[in-house]
Structure 1
């Protein structure tokens, strides 16, 4: 999304309230708790941190050693407004540095869709090299081309993924795959309906440069209902076969 100032503005305004972000942040926090228990001093790197919603969420829950990087100057500016330790760095330029200055957890959410296919294995290797042995890697990505719609055009997303695209990349990067699941299965039906409608609008002549993203806050009761549905699914169905997002975790060997 580099250069899409309006999209970063929308993200900054809603990501601490919108059901989708809330559920994603809870999923990430659950991984950290499973791996590190009640420790709040672990070193966490959010690579491609956007406007800092996840880092803010973790800070509010007591995590004290948080670092972020993002390739968008707009995103970094918003992060600094939140008082976060974030630097400007395009992940395509992430150095293949020696294994020093290591982290306990590296998170890279909804970034892979902007990375060229031939560069993705390199990026994953370089992110994994920033983990201590036993450290945890977390990544969430948009899933299934079937869900492609105006949202993808609006945010500049190039790809959608299935498990077979990403799981084989973990072992060569030095990561043991621990979790791989799509989400949200229950809400995939209305999400798909909206995306198919968006594609119909494009087919009927809506200009692609007028495409709208899905980053907006619905009414309070709708937002809370969607959040509760996604939350309940995560509790009852920790692994599902379908959904608009793909959530994976790995452990540094």
Structure 2
């Protein structure tokens, strides 16, 4: 909490830190937090990955946090970010240090959330943002829909998704004219396996990498890709790879974003639980 307080005191813009204490069983903890986020119109919830090993949680607690993260992803109306931070070396007293963020963009609303966050980060002078956009070429009208042709509605949805992708990417590119701290690369790939192989070769001196959990290209969700991926359900195929030792030997923090708001009726919040969250003053 001292780190948050220091950030509040030294930020260039208006930042207010409001610490809260939530006393609840793991099974119900997400309800109180999601209710609070809804009440305060919070756009982003960041939660820790269950395998972050700064503290030895033990098998039972780690499993409870894993289930808690899944509940956040299924219930939150705002964007949820899962932060994988096993062994980062962030910190230091040099306020002019360059913070390098890498964004891996395949397409879809989750990737757009990661890119939108990167655009906000790039507004800070000491932040450098690199965008790696993958363009998948091996797609036809049948492969993405289990052997059947796409309907007109599905084609229109894809066109809208592509338009939204291009619009946000254009916004990111336009920042180049205002400052030199952004760069982007378009990488042509044939399929999901080629994306994984390419990501492995894009190792760099990153302080943080971001990627969406889900993507809007059907053949990237091939079950064969997830066979040997332990945390694909929570982090997605590419988030899991970025968080593994196959990328920068697992030393770079990874933020996996998921766009919220697509709730089924059965997932609507129960208003119980808000009372278990109370604001707490912070003594420094």
TM-score by length of 1: 0.38
Which structure has the larger Rg? 2
TM-score by length of 2: 0.35
